[in-house]
């Protein structure tokens, strides 16, 4: 396979002629937060919606627990 002259890792087969420069730049500049999910966990949480719902449920449980703990300490 031949490479392009200006970048030895870019092969001639790569076609960026219909690409849009900066298409995701705004979203990326807003910040990213990527978490790698192990395969056994992803069987139960296949997408970001299911992961977020599960984490929100945990947040509710944690807040209730913290509230009870703070009441007991008073």
Whole-number pLDDT of residue 5: 65
| Residue 56, pLDDT score | 97
Q: Is residue 57 over pLDDT 70? A: yes
State yes or no: pLDDT of 30 exceeds 70.
Answer: yes
Per domain, the residue ranges of the chain are 38-73
Distances, alpha carbon 28 to alpha carbons 21, 24, 60, in Å: 13, 6, 29
Query: pLDDT tens, 11-23?
Result: 888 888 888 998 8
Instruction: Pull the structure tokens for residue 50.
Output: 């299911």
Any alpha helices (H) in the chain, and if so which ranges? Answer: 25-29, 39-42, 48-73
* pTM greater than 0.75 (yes/no): no
């Amino acid at each position: 396979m031949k490479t392009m002259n200006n970048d030895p890792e870019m092969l001639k087969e790569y076609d960026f002629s219909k690409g849009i420069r900066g298409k995701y730049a705004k979203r990326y500049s807003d910040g990213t937060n990527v978490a790698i999910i192990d395969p056994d966990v992803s069987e139960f949480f296949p997408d970001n919606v299911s992961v977020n719902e599960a984490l929100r449920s945990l947040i509710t449980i944690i807040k209730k627990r913290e509230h009870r703990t703070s009441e007991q300490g008073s």
